[in-house]
Amino acid sequence: MCGIVGAAAQRNVSKILLEGLKRLEYRGYDSAGLAVIEEQAIGLRKAVGKVSELVNKFDQDPIKGIVGIAHTRWATHGAPSEINAHPHSSDHIAVVHNGIIENHEELRQQLKDKGYDFVSETDTEVVAHLIHSFFIESGCLKTALRQAVGSFDGAYALGVISAQQPDTVVCARSGSPLVVGVGIDENFIASDQLALRQVTDRFIFLEEGDLAEVTTEAIRIFDQQGESVERPVVQLTDVEESADKGEYRHYMLKEIHEQPRVLGNTLQGRVSKHSVLEEAFGAEAKAIFDQVEAIQILACGTSYHAGMIAKYWFEDWAGIPCAVEVASEYRYRKTVVRPNTLFVSVSQSGETADTLAALRGSEGYLASLTVCNVANSSLVRESDLCLMTLAGPEIGVASTKAFTTQLVALQLLVIALGRRAKMTPEKETELVQALHALPELCEKVLKLDAEIQQLSEAFSEKHHALFLGRGVEYPVAKEGALKLKEISYIHAEAYPAGELKHGPLALVDSDMPVVAVAPNDQLLEKLKSNLEEVQARGGKLFVFADEQSGFANDDNTTVLLLPDVPGSIAPIIYTLPLQLLSYHVAILKGTDVDQPRNLAKSVTVE
């Protein structure tokens, strides 16, 4: 979604802001802009498109200043255009905003009645004028921001500057993330610490309702009640992973190929030769785990698919009842919580608005645990327990390594809880040994890249594709279909193969590629019967299977042979060729692989 950066320094901040935007660009990218205070006035530059467009414009007509704010936008109110791009200004005030002000229409009318003119269609322009109107009364930017946020319904992270208070950036958050970067004689704000790693490694993670006043000398933080508060400064010690593409043409391809290594990271220090080390879940985990009788998983998008797979594992291996639901549905319905249910959220970013709202609205649970990739994110801070996936920053909008590391992390959780339920020590050993073999098996599968590239040619001219799987491979098929539609814009649907004859079979003809996820498991024979139904209707089959599965190539069937793998890790292994397939189809179609149209990496509004 949108990204915010701001700075107060003793040097020109324009380049720092632009570099910050580049690092945030993967979150939202239909337009960008920056504002700095130059010669006692607000200097603004905006451009439609990627941050590079803004940089070009800036280079032709640079602005300089020691205090400024900047933004990458993913349109919510009003089309992507220069007028709708942030920062929005009101005379000497400039504002950047993530989130949605739900009562903006009402506020807009009140401000119009006071004589304010509006040029954009955004809710953010309302924020700028409202702060301006309050500034007239108090002459203090912090006070004006405090009064303005008191009028908002909705979610926001805001960064504000004023040419009449030229040494200060003020900011506030509610429902959208915001961090303050602590420098030496310079301080920063951003919607994600990633934007500031080039200037500092010390951060203050603002809490819900916090407001901060940031100058070169001081950072003053106030809570929702307006009381001055101290928040801890966190020194991030993790080595920053390079945010460039290295030898790869796209981040997505780089992230696909990182999987053998990062899956190893997810396991490291968390498993011995034969068992899962419980300490990985934190000191409080044991007391909570001892009481767990059921699981409720909440997530969105790809993370939801990881949750769907974990449900099979919880119920099959551990005998623990598990429900899984998309967070946007769950949060708005009445739910019945069984006694001693653990609330488990799964999220790459830890900031997805619906998942966070599901956690915040959860009642009656034993405790909450998040499986998450971003340290210090809202979900991590607000959950009782967390298990970090350790995939490193994921930049490609289509999630790849975050998904497979989530599966490994969830499997560790299934084992830790399962051994308190029906899982035997022998089963635990079998599962852990399979996990140890995972990185090497992934390496082998990635070597099939050239074959998959060839196979992708059969998809590039198609408008639709069907993905089939049974049992735990059904969510894998769903994830494969999601990847294809996200980055190649081909309409792709996944079905549990047993449902084929209840509708989708009507769509099958020679123009509809049908992908089957077919490892040699206990449902293979059932799946084969379903695939025969496809063949009988002239459908073109693309089967991802192992040698034991017994598929052969013929005129209508193309088989991609994968190594024989233990069933427990098959969902992880079989995801990789599907990721590569969608990548190569997108390349053939010439779409923007890393930043597909209309999508955002981190969805911080509902």
Just list the catalytic residues.
Answer: 2, 601
CB of 150 to ligand G6P, least distance (A): 30
CB of 602 to ligand G6P, least distance (A): 6
* Sheet strands side by side (includes 294-299): 322-326, 294-299, 341-347, 367-372, 385-388
CB of 196 to ligand G6P, least distance (A): 20
- Nearest-CB residue to ligand G6P? 301
Separation of alpha carbons 396 and 588, rounded Å: 18
Q: Give one DSSP letter per residue of 124-189, joined into a string.
A: HHHHHHHHHHHHHHHS-HHHHHHHHHTT--EEEEEEEEETTSTT-EEEEEEBS--EEEE-SS-EEE
Separation of alpha carbons 359 and 354, rounded Å: 9
Q: Are 303 and 346 in contact (CB under 8 A)?
A: yes
Residues that bind ligand G6P (CB under 6 A): 300-303, 347-349, 352, 355, 397, 399, 599, 601-603
Separation of alpha carbons 46 and 55, rounded Å: 9
Choose between 216 and 355: whose C-beta lies nearer to ligand G6P.
355
Choose between 97 and 601: whose C-beta lies nearer to ligand G6P.
601
Choose between 74 and 152: whose C-beta lies nearer to ligand G6P.
74
Separation of alpha carbons 271 and 293, rounded Å: 23
Separation of alpha carbons 28 and 31, rounded Å: 8
Separation of alpha carbons 587 and 545, rounded Å: 24
CB of 374 to ligand G6P, least distance (A): 8
Sign of CA dihedral 257, 260, 261, 266: positive
**For residue 443, which of 210, 208, 263, 206 has the smallest C-alpha distance?**
263
Backbone torsions φ then ψ of 277, nearest 5 degrees: -90, 115
CB of 595 to ligand G6P, least distance (A): 10
CB of 601 to ligand G6P, least distance (A): 5
Bridge partners, residue 73, by sequence: 31
